Each structure stands twice: as structure tokens, then as C-alpha cells.
Amino acid sequence: MKALLSTAPGGPETLELRDIPSPTPSAGQLRVRVLACGINYPDVLVIEDKYQFKPPRPFAPGSEITGVVEEVGEGVTGWAVGDRLIAMLGSDGGLAEQALVTAGQAIKLGPKFDPVEGAALIFTYATTIHGLVDRGALKAGETLLIMGAAGGVGIAAIEIGKALGATVVAAVSSEEKAAAARAAGADRTLIYGRGPFDKEASKELAKVFKEAVGPNGADVIYDPVGGDYAEAALRSIVWEGRYLVVGFPAGIPKMPLNLPLLKSCDIRGVFWGGFLQRNPERNRQHVEQLFKWWAGGQIRPRIDKVYSLADGGAAIARLASRSVIGKVVVRPCEE
């Protein structure tokens, strides 16, 4: 089979398309033909050895896949050759024609669902439903401010926020992205400039956020961006609001702790991977809700661009450029 491999630390240009042996499933595993692999920000980091997990090389990046079962390992029940599935692989393995999946962690994918959309579902939407429901306690009628609202996680937050009955304010970096946020259901949008920001520019940005969320402020702020945007956004939060820390593509912010004191607000981390390990049953309930919303049209993963396996490095580079609207997906095999 073919796989796009990281053989040494570096950027997407260092990935190599190679022929490697097909994997053999162990007890409890499935071997699947990979139909699609969603690209996520950890894929940018893992090939540069900047992620918290460092798989041994050579490895194929990519952790979020859809596939078709080709072989069932010993002791596996409930799965048969030809079944379609969604699976998270850990930190690597998705950018290949075949992959091994732990049967107990796979989710059946019905015939009416698009495997390309399916490969863009779990990481962003499961992270976001956990963040908004479990960590943010978002309620109907509250105001939700979303940073980076045109990315995969951002669009998921718009759709889930609306499904939960919130007023959604989407913060983005261009008019094209604002249009995408409105198409996803955002009630209001705002466009911010590119950082870094000095003290005066940060104050001006805070005014923009305050005007966008309205005089009562944002009850919940969902921030998958970080950097200099974080402090300005936090200044728009309500008394006892919840600020959700999701990611840092713009850098890890240095937050002045007098702001949480003055606002009596919470800064809460959203680490879906840790939640999944500690509370798989709660995550299963979330995924069931996501499938209901997906089937009913309340959510639908937006696909920015689909790449071939040979062009998987370009897919990772596009995500790293922060120009993506929705999700980037690689298609190693056809059905």
C-alpha cells in the first residue's frame, strides 16, 4: 500500500510517498481501506516534533478517518467486511491507503452519509460539543462569541451554538470568511486585523468585540485562536462568563489575571482528547447527538478542499496557512 510518511522532523514538504506493507490487524482491531482523512492542526505540529505526542518514525500523519472494513481481527464482534466507519487513530496513521482501527473506538457510518464529510466531523464537532456543553454550559438565549469562526472548529461552534439556541457572534479575519460564517448561521460577524497588536491596537480590538457582542457582553467565548486576540476578546465577557481555551495557532496568550478577577469570570480549558479517555460514555452520547443533528441538517461539515494522497503535504500546508474555510480532507482511496 502507499502511505505519505514523515521520515524526519520538518514541514509538509518533507513528507514522502512510499510503498509499505499492508498492516495486519491484531486481536480487537480492524484493517480498513481509508476513504478520507481529515487534516487537523495537530497534523501541522506532529511532523515538526512540536506536538505532545511524538510517534516513532517513519509515520503517516493524520488521525481522523473514514474507511471500509477489509479484515476483522480476532475477537472482534459487531463488524464485518464491507462496513463503513469513522475512527480516530491517535496521533498518526491516516494518510495511507490502509489503517488499523481499534474496533471498540470505531463508529459505524451509514450509507446516506458522505465519507468526506464524515472525516471532517468527529475532531472538530466532538471537541466543540464537549466545549460548549460540558465546559461552557452554554444555554439557550445566551450570547456566544467565536474566534476564528470560519475554520473547521469555528464553523462547528456556529452550528452547535445555534442548535443549542444561542445568539452567535462570529469573529473572522476577512469578508470572505464572514460570509462563510453567516452561511453557517452566525447572527452577527466582525472582522479583526492580523496581529501582533500593541497596547493601543489591543484596546481598539477590544472595542470591536464589545460592539459586536452588544452591551450585555458575551456569556461564552470560544477561542481556538489564542495569541494577542485573547485578551481583547476576554474584555467583552459578561460578569461570571466562561472563556473557553481551545487552541493556539496564533500563539499562547499571556492573559492578565486582573481581568478574570474584575469580571468574576472563568477561564476553562477544552481538551477533548483527555475528556475522551476519561469519559468515553459521555463522548458517545455527544456523538449520537451529532449524528442526529447531521442527519437533520442542523450541522454539516464544510469542506474547504479535497486532496489526493500524493498531495497530502499541500493539504497540511494549506491548513497551516490559516486560509482554510471549513476543513481540509485527503482522499487516499475511492469507495
DSSP state string for 78-123: S--TT-EEEEE-SSS--SBSEEEEEGGG-EE--TTS-HHHHTTTII
CA angle 268–157–102, rounded 5-degree value: 85
Distance between CA atoms of 29 and 135, rounded to whole angstroms? 32
Residues 271-283 have a mean pLDDT of 94
Residue 25, φ and ψ in degrees, nearest 5: -70, 135
**Residue (of 30, 132, 48, 33) closest to 320 by Cα position:** 48
Give per-residue pLDDT as tens, 84-143. 999 999 878 999 999 999 999 899 999 999 999 999 999 999 999 999 999 999 999 999
Parse the chain into domains and list their residue ranges: 2-121+301-331, 126-273
Residue 58: all three cell numbers together: 517513519
Residue 89: all three cell numbers together: 487513530
3-state class (DSSP) for residue 15? coil
**Residue (of 129, 224, 237, 146) closest to 185 by Cα position:** 146
Residue 162: all three cell numbers together: 445555534
Instruction: Report whether pLDDT(75) > 80.
Output: yes
**Residue (of 107, 122, 19) closest to 67 by Cα position:** 107
Long-range contacts of 317-323 (CB under 8 A, 24+ apart): 317/11, 317/12, 317/13, 319/39, 319/40, 319/41, 319/43, 319/44, 320/11, 320/12, 320/44, 322/151, 322/173, 322/249
Mean pLDDT of the chain: 95
pTM of the predicted protein model: 0.91
Distance between CA atoms of 325 and 302, rounded to whole angstroms? 8
pLDDT attached to residue 196: 84
Give per-residue pLDDT as tens, 171-229. 999 999 999 999 999 999 999 988 788 889 899 999 999 999 999 999 999 999 999 99
Residue 189, φ and ψ in degrees, nearest 5: -130, 155
Q: Do the domains at 2-121+301-331 and 126-273 have one common CATH topology?
A: no
Choose the CATH number for 2-121+301-331 among 1.10.268.10, 3.10.270.10, 3.90.180.10, 3.30.70.141: 3.90.180.10
CB 185 within 8 A of CB 158: yes
Q: 170-205 in b/e burial notation, b at 16+ Cβ within 10 A?
A: bbbbeeebbebbbebbbbbbbebeebebeeeebeeb
Place of cell 451554538: 161
Residue 287: all three cell numbers together: 456523538
pLDDT attached to residue 286: 97
Give per-residue pLDDT as tens, 33-66. 999 999 998 999 999 998 888 899 999 999 999 9
Choose the CATH number for 126-273 among 3.40.30.10, 3.40.50.300, 3.40.50.720, 3.10.20.740: 3.40.50.720
